[in-house]
Amino acid sequence: MAIVEVKVPQLSESVAEATLLQWKKKAGEAVKADEILVEVETDKVVLEVPAPSAGVLAEIVQPDGATVVADQLIARIDTAAVAGAAAPAPAAAPAAAPAATPAPAAPATAGGSKSDIAMPAAAKLMADNNLAAGSVAGTGKDGRVTKGDVLGAMQSGAASAGGSSAAAQKPANIPTGAPTSALPQVASPAAPNLGDRPEQRVPMTRLRARIAERLLQSQSTNAILTTFNEVNMQPVMDLRKTFQDQFVKEHGVKLGFMSFFVKAAVHALKKFPAVNASIDGNDIIYHGYFDIGIAVSSPRGLVVPILRNADQMSFADIEKKIAEYGQKAKDGKLSIEEMTGGTFSISNGGTFGSMMSTPIINPPQSAILGVHATKDRAVVENGQIVVRPMNYLAMSYDHRIIDGREAVLSLVTMKEALEEPARLLFDI
C-alpha cells in the first residue's frame, strides 16, 4: 500500500483558516491525478484541492463543513489500490457488516414479497432519508418501489422514518440564493412541524461573513456622505451604436457602458486626488496609481476584483478584463490577488434595474461610484422639454478626507466626461 496525503493548500497571509465545502468523491472511489477532490472556502476566494496522484480515495479525514488551516491533512489516497476492491473505510465510519459495499437493492420484508423490494436508486434514497423498509408503496413492475415513489412519499409526508426522527428534522428545500451543495445544512435540534411554513437554517459562508464584517466596518469607521447627479447617456449610446460592429470585429468583445464609467472615473480621480486616497491611522495615503474595483455579483456573494492601472488600459482592455472577472466570479475562480487592493470602486446596480442607491465604501478606500439603470426621462434643455436617456449617479465618500466641494466636483467631472466623451481624449 502506498499512501499519499491530501493537504489544504497554502492560504493568503491574511487568512488564518478556511472551510471545506462538499467533497466531490467518496471514500473507496477511484481518483485521477489532478482531479478536483474538494473546494476550500476562505473569506476571500474558493480554492480547489486537486488529487496529488491517481489511486483510490482511502480516507476522508475532514468532513464537509470542517474548519481547516493551511497544510492540514484532510484525506489520504492509496495509489496501489483499485476502485471496487476492499478499500480502507474512513476513520469516522463505524465497524460495518462483512459486506463493505452497500447492496444496491433495499431489503424485503419478511416473506420476501416482490411488492416490498425497492429498486436500487429508490433503496439508496430511502436509506439516505432514514425511511423504513415497507413504508413506501411501490408502483413499479410487480409492485417494486421506484425512486419516484420515494420522492412522492417524501413530498407528501406519507413515508415514516425508520426508528428515528431524523427525517422529520431534515431541512426543507428552500431557495436560499446560493448553491445548496456549497452550504453545509444544519437542522434545528427540535425542529417543529411547520406545515406549509418551513424554515431552513444554514451557516453563513466565510465570504458572506467577511462581506458583513467589512460593510459594518465601513459604516462604523467612515464618515459616509453621498452626493448625486444625473447624466445624459445619449452621447455614449450614440458612440456605441456607431462603432460597436467595428469594435467587436477588431477586439472580439462588445463595447459596453462600464468602460466609459471607468474612464470617466479615472479622469475625475486625476483632478481630485483625495477621492483616490485612503486613510491609514492618522495618515492620508495619496495613491499615484488608479486601481479600480468593479463590484461583481457571484453565487456566493459580492466580490470586487480590481482593474490594475486602469488609467493605462484601453476601452477594449477594460471590457475584456470585466468579462473575464464576471466569468471567474460565476465559476468561483477569482484569486486573492485579483481582489486585493483597489483605490476606488464602481458598483453598477443598474444591471439589476436599480434606479437609485447609496453605495457603501469598500474600506480602506475613500469613495465609491454607484451607477444605475438608464431610463428615458423628460428633461429641460434650452427651455424645451425633451426626452433623454438619463442615468442617476451616486458617489458615497468619506467626509474625513474628502470635502463636499471635492466630492461634488469630482462627480460633475464624471458627468461631463460621459456627456462629452471627447474630453477623455483631450484630458480636459
Interatomic CA distance for residues 170 and 155, integer angstroms: 12
Non-local CB neighbours of 370 within 8 Å, separated by 6+ positions: 346, 347, 349, 357, 358, 359, 393, 394, 395, 396
Active site members: 399, 403
CB 268 within 8 A of CB 414: yes
- Residue closest to 42 by CA, chosen among 19, 67, 71: 19
> Can you tell me the distance from the alpha carbon of 106 to that of 145, in angstroms, rounded to the nearest whole number?
9
Q: SS3 of 271, please?
A: helix
- The Cα–Cα gap between 129 and 117 comes to 17
**Residue whose entry in the numeric block shows the C-alpha cell 462629452:** 420
- Residue type, position 329, single letter: A
Q: Which grid coordinates are listed for 313?
A: 488600459
Specify the 3-state DSSP secondary structure of 31.
Answer: strand
Distances (CA, A) of 411 to 165, 218, 309, 362: 60, 21, 20, 18
Q: Grid coordinates representing 324? A: 473575464
What secondary structure letter does DSSP report for 402? S
Reading the block at residue 377, the C-alpha cell is 426621462
- Residue 202: closest CA among 226, 233, 161, 171: 171
Amino acid at 284: I
**DSSP of 89-142:** PPTTSPP--S--SPPSSPPPPTT--GGGPBPHHHHHHHHHTTBPTT-S---SGG
